[in-house]
Amino acid sequence: MFRKRHLFAIIVGVTLLSASSSPVALGQGFEQDQAEPATTATLGLAGHSWNRREMKIELVLEQESSFDYFETRLGDVLDELRSNYQIPIILDASVTDVDVDEERLITLDLSDVSLRSALTIMLTPMHCSYVVKDEVLYIMSQDAEHEHLYLRVYDCSDLMSHIGEQGSSEKLLDVLRTTINAETWEVSGGPGSVAEIGGKLVINQNSDGHRKVAWLLKALDREFTDR
């Protein structure tokens, strides 16, 4: 059976991340993850159907960054990020719905934070967010980000074998649906879905949901592997 004490600690971690105004930083919440350089393994990406170029962007988002902007055009900020981090960034048309364009002035002074957190801090007051899709980092409105769903396959065969209980797949689905943005799953009237086939989870979720799913599956896998 699930060890309640450890599962509670994992769920609390996900709950705190869900309550945060920023998208979850994959691997955040465990001291050993924070001490390690970001890799596909520490981010929970290894073994899942992430495009290689999209994996690169997710890793770049974990790099340390510093923002020092005073009344700087958003277009110029994005140009600098493209140059410094060598990733493609596109300003999605949906930002016009929240009165944002390349002329929006940015004032932000940050240091020693991940690029992921810095972007979130910059974009949230503008009611914007970001999505990694089609090998590009898109800046879009928060409403557009929440509505944008895409399929991803997660190989959970090892995790299910570690759990080793009859009905383990359904237990895992219940954990995901109750701890990761619960209102977004179809069982709660949302658009997101998850199904299991042959030890693999097929999940249709938004970008924030996928980041949290990857983090939680990595945490669970580590918990049962370290028994």
- Residues 167-186 have pLDDT tens digits of 678 888 999 999 998 998 99
Higher per-residue confidence, 12 vs 157: 157
State the average pLDDT over residues 114-137. Answer: 93
**Buried residues in 166-185 as b, exposed as e (16+ CB within 10 A):** eebbeebbebbbebbbeebb
Model confidence, pTM: 0.66
Tell me how far apart the alpha carbons of residues 147 and 125 are, in angstroms, rounded to a whole number: 19
Domain-wise residue ranges, the chain: 4-49+149-225, 59-145
Tell me how far apart the alpha carbons of residues 77 and 103 are, in angstroms, rounded to a whole number: 10
Question: pLDDT tens digits for 15-59?
Answer: 444 444 443 333 333 333 444 455 554 444 544 555 788 889 989
Q: What is the pLDDT of residue 164?
A: 73
State the average pLDDT over residues 78-90. Answer: 96
Q: What is the pLDDT of residue 140?
A: 95
Q: What is the pLDDT of residue 24?
A: 36
Tell me how far apart the alpha carbons of residues 81 and 78 are, in angstroms, rounded to a whole number: 5
Domain 59-145 has CATH 3.30.420.10: no
Phi, psi of 134 (to 5 degrees): 50, 35
Question: pLDDT tens digits for 175-224?
Answer: 999 999 899 899 888 899 999 998 899 999 988 888 889 889 988 888 88
Among the residue ranges 7-11, 13-17, 27-31, 223-227, the one predicted with the least confidence is 27-31
